Amino acid sequence: MKKDNDQKGPLLAASAEEALAPYLFDGMSIAVGGFGLVGTPEYLLNAIHASGVKNLTVVSNNAGTIGKALGLVLEAGQISHVVASYPGNHPEFVRKFFAGELTCDFTPQGTMAEKMRAGGAGIPAFYTPTGFGTAVAEGKETRHIGGRDCILEQSITVDLSLVRGEFADDAGNIMFRKTARNFNPDVASCGRICVVEVREVVPAGSFDPDHIHMPGIYVDHVLEVPDMVKHVEIPTFRNAS
């Protein structure tokens, strides 16, 4: 989903609040990058939480981590619907879901990534064999293609995409850090507006073109956060003896 304005590059925001404020409204849809806490746009999500915007539809691999990032938004009751692959790792999601306080489209992980990528590419729907014959297929059109039974999946587009990168240049081209890339490029492509937080912004031309992971055509605003904190979601310790 390309930018629908005439700006030549992304706007460098002074704060997360400045970047997000023009686009927030109750009932909006937001796609969030990251896998657990890896590649999660924590500073932007903190601003979403602080804004108090509510009745959100959130597309994310999981429903957040206790007390951090998307978890804060969930715990504050700002989310009414989730599209996710692995939301059950947050106990408050489990409680809210079974209490009927939010709804969820449980979506296979690869299907979710493709739904966002296809949405960003202008493809309204696609067939996949994943989920055929399970609860995932309920209510969906099916076809037999290439010797396999498939279901029709609707693509995803959202009002706002939140992404975390490592570096951005002045033109909005993004480089991610290793596995922190995960869902972020797909998330960026499917949003009408895309805001990216990065550790450092460098001059345009600093990147070898072959090293650009996500082109600036998808990016509307960049937030530089030099003091990014890298949390460990599930610390595991070994007995030293």
- By CB atoms closer than 10 A (0-12, 13-18, 19+), residue 98 is exposed
pLDDT at 132: 97
pLDDT at 236: 82
Burial string for 154-172 (b: 16+ CB within 10 Å, else e) reads: ebbbbbbbbbbbbbbbbbb
pLDDT at 36: 87
Q: Please state the pTM of the whole predicted model.
A: 0.92
Query: Can you give the C-alpha Rg of the chain in angstroms?
Result: 18
pLDDT at 238: 85
pLDDT at 226: 85
What pLDDT digit, counting tens, does each position of 124-138 carry? 999 999 999 999 999
Q: Residue written as tokens 């550790």?
A: 199
What pLDDT digit, counting tens, does each position of 67-114 carry? 999 999 999 999 999 999 999 889 999 999 999 999 999 999 999 999
pLDDT at 6: 53
Domains and CATH numbers, the chain: 26-106+157-224 (3.40.1080.10)
Low-confidence ranges of the chain (pLDDT < 50): 1-2, 5
